[in-house]
Amino acid sequence: MSIMRLFKYLSTISLASLLVIFSTTLVTADPLTDRLDSGKKLRLGYATSVPWAFTTEDGKPTGFVNELTLLVLEEMGIPVSNVEGHVVDWAGLIPGIQANRYDLITGGMYILKSRCENINFSNPIGIFGDAFMVPKGNPQGINNYQDVVSTGITLATGAGFNTVEAAKKEGVPDSQMLLVAGEMEVLAALMAGRADAGIMTHAGAVAQVEKAGGGKYEVTNPKDLPVWTQNHVGIGFRKSDTDFIERFNTAMLKVIGTKAWMEAGAPHGYTIVQLPSLLGYNEATAYSCANK
């Protein structure tokens, strides 16, 4: 083969290789990746839910879900300075990300079949249970949903919370449920006498009881609820952002359970108890989407 023909052959191969790379990039890129590549900030959407997710006095997202998410993003090479928080009512989180108002849902959302129909979830950041917030001494003996039904009390919970589905599955009628905007509103309903008990995540209930102060309320044991109410929590993504979620999961696997991970969550009550088992970890989200 002559030098000229060899040069033309190599040039053709190089051009073909570039076309393959370019085509692959077009296939694997997604809207969120494109957004970040264009220099725009990554937007976190979350409802105020202490200690899961809230905003500091100087406007920065915090709470253990936000802190753990920021740690994963840093592992991906996305600095905190390139991330901004957007506070939304809980019921508006999924519609908001579908409408492209923000890019990730970080507020501590359980991975449920009904939610997986509308968004994708990362691998779990933790496993959690729910609990009732009741008056001190639990005078009406509310420890599970059957107690709610038998006593006829009014139960407050957040619109869009997983507890709405759980209560209905356990037979609590709509007439006994008061749906409010979020955890703070559940506490407000109890304090105003509009509800006799509230239900939310165990961590959220502990935080609201502390906020109420004065020993007025207490939190029940989440193990008194059916075992199926134990749920994995993941970070929510748009269905279209498949490339980014794959890279997010890869980065999270490098940091989950490390010293840095535990230290990021510890100030907000995240402990080894909430750390998900890494046995079958990559299949946990798919299982929850299919069965929860």
pLDDT of 49-93, one tens digit each? Answer: 889 999 999 999 999 999 999 999 999 999 999 999 999 999 999
ω into 31 cis (within 30 of 0): no
In contact, 198 and 155? CB cutoff 8 Å: yes
In sequence order, the β-bridge partners of residue 105 are 45, 236
Q: How do the domains of the chain map onto residue ranges?
A: 39-127+231-291, 130-229
Closest CA to 126 of 244, 231, 253: 231
> Does domain 39-127+231-291 correspond to CATH entry 3.40.190.10?
yes
Q: What is the CATH topology of the domain spanning 130-229? A: D-Maltodextrin-Binding Protein; domain 2 (3.40.190)
> Taking the model in full, what pTM does it have?
0.74
What is the per-residue pLDDT across 145-155, written as a single tens digit (0 to 9) for each?
999 999 999 99
What is the per-residue pLDDT across 208-260, written as a single tens digit (0 to 9) for each?
999 999 999 999 998 899 888 888 999 999 999 999 999 999 999 999 999 99
Backbone angles phi, psi at 153, to 5 degrees: -70, 165
pLDDT at 277: 82
pLDDT at 29: 76
Let me know if the fold of 39-127+231-291 is the same as that of 130-229. Answer: yes
